[in-house]
Each structure stands twice: as structure tokens, then as C-alpha cells.
Structure 1
Amino acid sequence: MTRGQIRREAVSDQVFAVVRDRILGGVLPPGSALTAERELAAEFGVNRHAVREAVKRLQQARLVEVSHGGRTLVLDWRHTAGLELAVGIVAAGDPSASADLTRDALEMRACIGADAARLCALRCSDVAAAAILEAAGRYLTAGPDLADLAAADIAWWRLIVEGSGNLAYLLSFNSLVGGALPVAAVPDDLRAAELLDVEAHVRLAAHIAAREAAVAERLARELLARSIPLASRKANR
């Protein structure tokens, strides 16, 4: 990004995004000193306050560390950054970064969903198990429209994740379906094989209600993994 591309209405956001991408791309490798504030201000034609705000966000994202001597060092983001970095990449609207991230998020979704199903079978109350069975019954009548199936699918999975009793899974689920991560933007037709398998949804609900944790985990992983290859092929076009 050149100086002329920095938008005045969000200069600190723009500086943050550029420097973040330089760190992620290895232009600024781990252990190196971050470009000085005055140099960044001159490069982008912004004041140093905007640069300081950008550096503060980099620090909050655990991409850099401000040492006691005043130097700002680049961290190894693969060891320090959290899921909020992925959310930030999506918010920046970089299609090249978001394509692979969609695949990665779908893989994470399959892992979380499979283990949530296992934990739900082990932990959920009888009332919660009955609600999951009832929601699976409603799923039978939701189709064949894919948008209706997708909405019913989210409501059903929410019951399973809540039944797992794992708060970290629930917060991740909220990010996955709420648009913070790119799974929510995957077109329904790319998930048709998963959404249209009504019988698998019903069987999974029955295994959870029967407390068959291992079978529930395996079936949930198989069901959710159906969307991954399609999304990967689209991302690699």
C-alpha cells in the first residue's frame, strides 16, 4: 500500500493493517525492530499519533512487544497471537488472506463440533438432550430450501455446543456463525452435502440422547467435514 492509498478517515487502522501484513508476510521477521514511528509517519503521510495508535493495536494483538529500552520488537505471531488476529484479517477484507482462512475456519468448525457432540453426550441434561432431539425433528421439515436448512442447522448446533458445557467452544461457535470468521460467508450451496443429509442430523441427535459419546463424535466429524473439500477447492481457484 502506498502513501496515497491511506484513507484519512481511518489512518491508524490503515497503518495497523499494513504493518500487520508486513509482520505476517515475514517482511518484518520475529526479533527485528519495528520501523520507527517517525519513519512510518513519513512513509504514509500521517501524524505520529496515528502511528502510535496503530502500534498500540499491534501490541494488543501480540504482534509486537515494547521493550523497557523503548524499542519495539516484532514477535513470532505463530507463538503469541490469538484468534482475534483471524477476526482482524477478515475485517480488513483481504480476499487473498480470507480464502485460506475460510478453509482453516471450516476445519476448526469440524474439530470443535465433533468434540462438542462428544461432550454433549457425556454432560448434557435430559432436558437438553430432549431439546436436541426435538430440534432434529424440526430439521426434518426445514428443507429443501438451503437457507432454511442453514438456519435450522445453526439453531440445532447451538443446542449441542451449549450442551457440551464448554464456554470456549460456545464463544468460538458465536464467532464462526456470527460473521466474525469467514465460515458465515460460505454460500449454502457449497455446504449442500452437509445440510441436505437430514438423516445424519437425526442420527447424531439420537446418539447424543443415548449418551453414545464416541459414535456421536465420529458422526459429527464426518458430517461437518463434508463442507471442507468444497470450500478448499473454491479457495484455490
Structure 2
Amino acid sequence: MVHGHIRREAVSDQLFALLRDRILGGELPPGSPLTAERDLAAEFGVNRHAVREAVKRLQQARLVEVSHGGRTLVLDWRRSAGLDLAVGIAAADGGPSVEELARDALEMRACIGADAARLCALRCSGQAAARIVEAAGRYARSGPDLVELAAADIAWWRLIVEGSGNVAYLLAFNSLVDGALPVAHVPDDLRTAELLDVETHLRLAAHIEAREAAAAERLARELLSRSVPAAHRKAVR
């Protein structure tokens, strides 16, 4: 990494990203002390307030912790960090690549979607089930424009995830939909195959309405796994 002064705007944000990259890339390995505050300020030509703000964000991301002796130690991010780290990790110089993150997000999408469908069949109200069936019908009448189908698909899956009653799944769904997690690298042919399978959407809605949880989970996993590149599908089945 090239050292030196950084831009004056959003100094703490830039410094956080630089230190995050050093941790993810292994330049600052787990258990090592974080570079001293005064040294970081001198290295990058910033004031110590900006350094403290950056370190605070590292703590919030569970990349570092302050030890009993007062030293700031680097954590093993694979054991300590949460899903929120994936929001910025794709731009990091070290750690998983964008392609790896895209694969991981797609696998997570298939797993969460499958279990959300199962829970929705078990937990959702009759009214919610009826809305899911109705939305599946609207989906069947959408398209063939893929942009229109994609929007209808998101709206339909939101009903299912909300119907699952699992807030953690809902927050993960929001991150996926809002693009906070890198799932844009789905091959067009795979995404198209999923979106154009109207029959499976209708069958899944019917399983949820009929309270057939196991069948709903199986079908949801099959549908969502279609957007996972073939080389990686085994991991989500």
C-alpha cells in the first residue's frame, strides 16, 4: 500500500477504509497492536480526532478491540465481524474478491429465501398468504420485460420474508435488495431463467397458502439456486 497524505474531505472515512484494508489484507494480522494514534496522524497528515473517529468505526465493525492494558488490538475479522462488513468489503484491497462476495451473497440469498418460505408457510396469517398468492398472480401477468419482472419478484419475495416473521432475515433481505451486498454479478442467463419461471413462483405461493412448509422450502431453494453459477450450486443444496 502506498503511504502518504490523504484527501481532506471525509478524512475519518478514508482513514477507516485504509485501516480496514490493512486488516483484511493481513498487513495488520489478528492479535497485533493497531498502529499508534500519533503515528497514524503523522503518517497521513491528519489530526488525532480523525484518527479516533476512524478507530471508533473499526471497533464498531469488530475489527479491533481495546485491551485491558489500553492497547488497541486487531481482531480476527472472520470470527468477530458481522454482515455489515460486507457493505464496504468489496472495495477493499485485501480480503475476499468481489466475485467471491457475489457468490457468497447468492448462496446466502438461496438459503435465507428457502427458510423464509418454510417459516412463512408455518407462521403467516391467512391474509398474508392470500396477498402472496395474489402477488404471484400479478407476477405471472408481468413481463416479459425483465426489469418489470425483477421489480415484481422483489415485491413478492418481500411479502414472503415479512410473512416469515424473522426480523434478521428481513434486514438481510433489505441489504440484498438495496445493493449493500454485491449480488449484481449474476450471469444474465441464470437470472433470466429464475425470473421467467413463472410456474414455480405460482407453485411456491400455493405451497405457502396450503401450509406445506417442507415443500415450500424445497421449491424456494430450487428457484433461488438457479441464479447461483453452476460451479457453486452444490454449496447451497
Q: Distance in 2 between matches of 1:228 and 1:210?
A: 28
Q: Distance in 1 between matches of 2:30 and 2:119?
A: 38
TM-score by length of 1: 0.90
Q: 5+ unaligned residues in a row in structure 1: which ranges?
A: 233-237
Q: CA RMSD in A?
A: 2.2
Q: How far did residue 69 of structure 1 move?
A: 2.1
1:51-79, Cα deviation, whole Å (9 max, x unpaired): 11111110111110112322111111111
Q: How far did residue 141 of structure 1 move?
A: 1.1
Give 1:178's aligned residue: 178
Q: How far did residue 154 of structure 1 move?
A: 0.3
Give 2:201's aligned residue: 201
Q: How far did residue 179 of structure 1 move?
A: 2.0
Query: Which letter does structure 2 place at the counterpart of 1:74?
Result: V
Give 1:52's aligned residue: 52
Q: How far did residue 47 of structure 1 move?
A: 2.0
Alignment pair present for 1:86 and 2:86: yes
Distance 1:103 1:168, change over 3 A: same
Q: Distance in 1 between matches of 2:71 and 2:38?
A: 13
Larger relative helix fraction: 1
Q: Distance in 2 between matches of 1:231 and 1:58?
A: 34
Give 2:64's aligned residue: 64
Q: How far did residue 88 of structure 1 move?
A: 2.7
Q: Distance in 2 between matches of 1:193 and 1:205?
A: 18
Q: Distance in 2 between matches of 1:94 and 1:105?
A: 19
Give the total of aligned pairs: 231
Q: Which secondary structure does the structure 2 equivalent of 1:73 belong to?
A: strand
Q: Distance in 1 between matches of 2:181 and 2:121?
A: 27
Q: How far did residue 230 of structure 1 move?
A: 6.8
Distance 1:30 1:42, change over 3 A: same
8 Å Cα contact 1:2/1:44 also seen in 2: no
Distance 1:32 1:93, change over 3 A: closer
Q: 5+ unaligned residues in a row in structure 2: which ranges?
A: 233-237
Q: Which secondary structure does the structure 2 equivalent of 1:35 belong to?
A: coil
Q: Distance in 2 between matches of 1:93 and 1:230?
A: 27
Query: Which letter does structure 2 place at the counterpart of 1:225?
Result: S
Distance 1:213 1:198, change over 3 A: same
Q: Distance in 1 between matches of 2:205 and 2:40?
A: 55
Q: Distance in 1 between matches of 2:93 and 2:109?
A: 21
8 Å Cα contact 1:150/1:188 also seen in 2: no
TM-score by length of 2: 0.90
Give 1:221's aligned residue: 221
Q: Any runs of at least 4 consecutive aligned residues in structure 1 with deviations exceeding 4 A, and if so which?
A: 92-96
8 Å Cα contact 1:3/1:45 also seen in 2: no
